[in-house]
Amino acid sequence: MPCLDVRDGEVVKGVRFRDHRVVGGILELAARYRDAGADELVFYDITASPQGRTVDRTWIARVARVLDIPFCVAGGIRSVADAEAVLGAGAEKVSVNSPALEDPELIDRLSERFGSQCVVVGIDSQTVGEDYRVQQYTGDVRRTRDGGRRTLEWVLEAQARGAGEIVLNCMASDGVRRGYDIEQLAAVRRVCRVPLVASGGAGDMQHFAQVFTLAGVDAALAASVFHSGEIKIGALKRELRANGIEVRP
């Protein structure tokens, strides 16, 4: 599941949430991943929440026009009306992160209106001592702060409120390509009864195989290794199948 961080209409990628550089156009990358056999795409407007504005939606319908696989849009979705516009433009799912921390009932309202299958809760989590804690406003390093919650408790609350999927981004691993945070993901898996998507840290194909077999996640998200072409989706799927993991060809 390639993840495309969108800033000002272009796809960018940072390392540990900093120093973003442009990797390409939205439509060009969307079409490339569609043709390569990606199962789903996630678009994060990483500037939306820190700037207190809503995601610029003009590109969503253009993406929907070229994609024949599902895609999810995240970034500054703070209301049912925001979500309606994004879903109406052709996205399958909306993902809420910082706005859900500010207003947890947003998850209830979204799942009541659109069904929990449309509502993804994205969680940026940081290891703090022996614990995992939720971070907020991670799109802008100057504004990133502790979200005031323990990660496991927030996972439980989010699914009780109607989240249909959890994307757990382990911040310490993000962009550094040393593998997913298996320990943290396995801890979340034990309490998470909805689909769980791993994010942050993929560097080679074995990292993907490990996160499926050791942490039991339902999907794995990555950015750098796909954008750079270092890992080809077709080869990755063959590798996963060779490891006994069921994937769509």
Partner 1 sequence: MTSSSGTATADTDAVIVESGGANVASLGFALERLGARVTVSADPGRIAAATHVLLPGVGAAADAMRRLRARGLDRLLPELTQPVLGICLGMQLLFDGSEEGAGGATTCLGILPGRVERLRPAGDLPVPHMGWNQVASLRDAPLLRDLGALPYAYFVHSYAAPPGPATDAVCDYGGRFSACVSAGNFHGVQFHPERSAAVSARLLGNFLKLRTQPERACA
**Contact in structure between 86 and 56 (CB atoms under 8 Å):** no
User: Shortest approach of partner 1 to residue 163 CB, angstroms?
Assistant: 11
68 or 130: whose CB is closer to partner 1? 68
Binding to partner 1 (CB under 8 A) within 161-190 occurs at: 164-165
Q: Is residue 12 a contact point for partner 1 (CB under 8 A)?
A: no
- Residue selected from 70, 104, 179, 216 as contacting partner 1 according to rule CB under 8 A: 70
Q: Is residue 218 a contact point for partner 1 (CB under 8 A)?
A: yes
Give strand pairing partners of 228.
none
Binding to partner 1 (CB under 8 A) within 125-164 occurs at: 164
- 248 burial via Cβ count (<10 Å: 0-12, 13-18, 19+): exposed
Residue 5 annotated as catalytic: yes
User: Shortest approach of partner 1 to residue 42 CB, angstroms?
Assistant: 14
The separation between CA 44 and the C-alpha centre of its own chain, rounded to angstroms, equals: 7
How far apart are the C-alpha atoms of 223 and 38, rounded to whole Å? 12
Residues 6+ apart with CB under 8 A from 246: none
Residue 124 annotated as catalytic: yes
Three-state DSSP class for 82? helix
Q: Is residue 234 a contact point for partner 1 (CB under 8 A)?
A: no
Active site amino acids: 5, 124
